[in-house]
Amino acid sequence: MKNKTNTGLNRRDLLKSGLLLAGAALLPTACQTATGAIGANSSSSNQQDTKVNGRRKLGKLEVSSLGLGVQNMSRKYTTEVPYRPEMHNIIRTAFDRGVTFYDAAEAYGPHEVERILGEGVAPFRNKVVICSKFGWNIDQNTGQRLPGLNSRPEHVRTVVEGMLKRLRTDRIDLLYQHRVDPAVPIEDFAGLMKDLMNEGKVLHYGLSEPGLQTVRRAHAVHPVTAIQNEYSLIWRGPEKEIIPLCEELGIGFVPWSPLGVQFLTGWIDANTRFAPGDIRGAESRFSPENLPNNLKLVDLVKKWGTQKGATPAQISLAWLMAQKPWIVPIPGTTQMAHMLENNGADSVRFTADEVRQFNTELAQVEIKGERLPQMVLQFSGVEAAPKK
pLDDT tens string 64-76: 999 999 999 998 8
By C-alpha distance, which of 286, 227, 292 is closest to 261? Answer: 286
Residue 13 lies in a domain: no
pLDDT tens string 104-129: 999 999 999 999 999 999 999 999 99
Instruction: Give the CATH number, domain containing residue 123.
Output: 3.20.20.100
Q: For residue 77, what pLDDT is reported?
A: 82
Pairing verdict, β 129-134 and 136-138: unpaired
Tally of domains within the chain: 1
Residue 304 lies in a domain: yes
- Residue 332, beta-bridge partner list: 69
Residue 317 to residue 319: CA distance in whole angstroms: 5
Which residue would you say has higher pLDDT here, 64 or 11? 64
* H-type alpha helices, the chain: 11-17, 84-96, 112-121, 153-166, 186-198, 212-221, 242-249, 291-308, 312-323, 336-343, 352-362, 374-377
Query: What value does the mean pLDDT take over residues 222-229?
Result: 98
Residue 227 lies in a domain: yes
Q: For residue 379, what pLDDT is reported?
A: 96
Q: Which residues participate in catalysis according to the annotation?
A: 108
Residue 72 lies in a domain: yes
Q: Report the predicted TM-score, pTM, of the whole model to 2 decimal places.
A: 0.88
Query: What value does the mean pLDDT take over residues 86-94?
Result: 98
Pairing verdict, β 68-69 and 129-134: unpaired
Residue 47 lies in a domain: no
For the cut 60, the answer to whether the pLDDT of residue 14 exceeds it is no
Pairing verdict, β 205-208 and 226-230: parallel
Is the separation of the CB atoms in 114 and 106 below 8 Å?
A: yes
> For the purposes of burial, counting CB atoms within 10 Å of the CB of 287, is it exposed (0-12), middle (13-18) or buried (19 or more)?
middle
Which residues constitute the domain of residue 120? 53-377
Query: What value does the mean pLDDT take over residues 159-176?
Result: 98
